[in-house]
Amino acid sequence: MFDSLKDKLGSFRKDVEETTEEKAEAEAEAEAEAAAEAEAEPETEANASDAADAEAAESAASDDAADSTASSGGGFAAKAKSFAKGEIVIEEQDLEDPLWELEMALLESDVEMNVAQEILDNIREDLVGATRSFSSETADVVEQALADSLLKVISVGQFDFDQRIAEADKPVTIIFTGVNGVGKTTTIAKLSKYLKDRGYSTVMANGDTYRAGANEQIQEHADNLDTKLISHEQGGDPAAVIYDAVEYADSHDVDVVLGDTAGRLHTNEGLMDQLEKIGRVVGPDMTLFVDEAVAGQDAVQRAKQFNEAAEIDGAVLTKADADSQGGAAISIAHVTGKPILFLGVGQGYDDVEKFEPEELVGRLLGDEE
């Protein structure tokens, strides 16, 4: 999962490491040459006088450099001080080429442009002016900057789904929305199994009353999971179906209602009106947007548009196991301000993972397989 993006992030670390290692070697060689020349020069009275004058000039220059550093936040004095301690300062020009390569890699991986720019800005802020000892690995410094930057954009709006379910008044009503064919119904079945495994009872509601075969599809999942399904005849009112499911859950002490809806585009006013009516009639506790991770930028833009048209509380990305790019997983939370809550990672009912930003960053940076 996300192997292509993982490789590209690894290339960025390697590029910065190579750039700063070359810089360290060049500065070390220059220092060694200067030291050798100083040792080779005979110590005479004139030399001593010259040395004293040079020392005074150097002191004055040092003061000037310090003044310059105070106003500019960097410069010769900072580099000289770090070098004397066996350290090297990472400067903006050291990052210019690697950051450009990283930007192209992020965009190629379907990361939304503004999200990519924020990642780069965060990395630049963390790394420019950073020091490291000659004996330490530059990759460690870069990896930490990458981890911090990725977490900052991925974790936007994150909340603990399990905790919210545990603390909410029952029944909890969750509505699933998105375009056709992205796996909403299968996601409902997976989350029914996920919740049952954690001790919660569930009821499914088929609010997709217009698609031929929709009742049969979700009924098969309900039968497989031994879960009650509430449905009406094709063409019925979706809000009425979900309302009946909430009433059933309330009278039978069922913990969670999982409501399917018809696949729609944000531009389809009729279907968006249905969502609005469901909101008025039922007052769902959560509305989750479902899309395919492999849809990349399309999924990101749809999430943004759905959130603007009918506010969502979070997202579920299906087919994440088939996504080598990872752009949707990185971008959706930042673009919508709403978190990714689950990843679908296979066809089985157990093939759903709670989305953990720290775990995703660990995978991308090679800490986890």
Are both 321 and 211 inside the same structural domain? yes
As for how many domains the chain has, the answer is: 2
Answer yes or no: do 16 and 124 share one domain: yes
Indicate if the pLDDT at residue 58 is higher than 70.
no
Instruction: Kindly tell me if the per-residue pLDDT of 270 is higher than 80.
Output: no
Same domain, 167 and 103: no
Residue 52 has pLDDT above 60, yes or no: no
Q: Are residues 201 and 218 in the same domain?
A: yes
Instruction: Output the pLDDT for position 132.
Output: 52
Q: Point out the domain boundary residue: 121, 154, 187.
A: 154
Residue type, 92: E
Residue 367 lies in a domain: no
Query: CA torsion angle for 233, 238, 243, 244 (degrees, to 10)?
Result: 10
Residue 7 exposed, middle or buried by CB count within 10 Å (0-12, 13-18, 19+): middle
Q: Specify whether 123 is located in the same domain as 178.
A: no
Task: Look up the pTM and report it.
Answer: 0.76
The verdict on 148 and 195 lying in the same domain is no
More confident residue, 34 or 311: 311
Whether residues 139 and 188 share a domain: the answer is no
Please indicate, yes or no, whether residues 139 and 177 belong to a single structural domain of this protein: no
CA distance 60 to 54: 10
CATH number at residue 171: 3.40.50.300
Tell me the pLDDT tens digit for each residue of 289-328: 999 999 888 899 889 888 887 789 999 999 998 887 788 8
Alpha-carbon distances, residue 274 vs 106, 230, 269, 279, 299 (angstroms): 37, 18, 9, 9, 22
Which region among 37-51, 137-151, 301-315, 355-369 has the lowest average model confidence (pLDDT)?
37-51
Most confident residue range from 95-99, 139-143, 235-239, 286-290: 286-290
Domain hosting residue 27, numbered range: 3-154
* Region for 200 from its dihedrals, namely left if φ exceeds 0, alpha if ψ lies in -120 to 50, beta otherwise: beta
Please identify, among 154, 188, 223, the residue that sits at the C-terminal boundary of a domain. 154
The answer to whether residue 365 is domain-embedded is: no
Residue 205 three-state SS: strand
Domain of residue 140, CATH code: 1.20.120.140
- Asked if 43 and 171 sit in the same domain, the reply is no
Residue 363, in any domain of the structure:
no
Q: State pLDDT tens for residues 98-117.
A: 888 888 888 888 888 888 89
> Looking at the predicted structure, is the pLDDT value of residue 88 above 90?
no
Quick check: is 113 in a domain?
Answer: yes
Out of 154, 176, 207, pick the residue that ends a domain.
Answer: 154
Question: pLDDT for 156-208, tens place per residue?
Answer: 889 999 999 999 999 999 999 988 889 999 999 999 999 999 999 999 999 88
Task: Judge whether 30 lies within some domain.
Answer: yes
